[in-house]
Amino acid sequence: MSFSIVVGLTALLSAYLTVLTTFTFAYFSEEKRVIVDINALGEAELEAMSLMLSTPFVVFTLYYLLKKALGRQKK
């Protein structure tokens, strides 16, 4: 598996787990909401850069996997 695919899949999984965790905490809270502080430890700049750098890998991974999956269906 290529480095680009690994980075893309890691970013996709990380994003999914973040959304899942946030939703779960909000769903089981009394108010059905949570407040997300994106700079509690001063990490917002690093996270923003990480998101920008991983986006091309995610797009490439989705394109590659969809192309591969659709190619298998045609056979």
To the question of pTM greater than 0.85 for the whole model, the response is: no
Amino acid identity of residue 74, one-letter, is K
pLDDT tens by residue, 20-62: 999 999 999 999 999 999 999 999 999 999 999 999 999 999 9
Amino acid identity of residue 56, one-letter, is P
Contacts of 36 (CB under 8 A, 6+ apart): 22
**Alpha carbon distances (Å) from 17 to 10, 28, 34, 52:** 11, 16, 16, 18
Map 1-23 to HEC letters: CCHHHHHHHHHHHHHHHHHHHHH
- Give the start-to-end residue ranges of the domains of the chain: 3-74
